[in-house]
Amino acid sequence: MGTLVKFFILFLFSQLLNAQTVSGYDIIVKINNLESNQGKVYVEIYDSQEAFLNKGLKSTVVKITEKSCDVTFKNIPKGIYAISMFHDKNDNNKMDTNFLGIPIEDYGCSNNAKGFMGPPKWEDAKFEVNDKSITQTITL
């Protein structure tokens, strides 16, 4: 009976470990060519066109080293995503704009999407997470 109980406990433990396995992938974001090491970088990931540049799925703030920084969003399920970032040079926790509303701090999006007469478009910034972790590089 003792061996059967030990086997049963081992079986339950192994099932518990399997239930806690990661069900998603990593999205690694590399941001290069920042103007300086001052301030910090805000990075946000979006999971729909409606959310893009409004309400992100996940966000983080990172320090800058050697005019670049890296961010890893972990356990992201398969799907379509886009990333935006901005360099908060003066450390005031917001993207500064001029009197016309045009950003005066550096910003960027996945796929190095650029806006024309406005912000970048979801269609240009989106990418797919399929069956492996991926890296998105944003070069300013």
Per 3-state DSSP, the chain is made up of helix, strand and coil in percentages (nearest 5) of 20, 40, 45
Residue at 11 is within a domain: no
Residue at 15 is within a domain: no
Q: Distance (Å, rounded) from C-alpha 104 to C-alpha 116?
A: 16
Domain of 80? Answer: 24-139
CATH number for the domain that contains residue 129: 2.60.40.10
Q: What is the pLDDT of residues 14-71, one digit of tens each?
A: 554 444 455 799 999 999 999 999 999 999 999 999 999 999 999 999 999 999 999 9
Q: Tell me how many domains the chain contains.
A: 1
Residue at 122 is within a domain: yes
pTM of the model: 0.81
Residue at 10 is within a domain: no
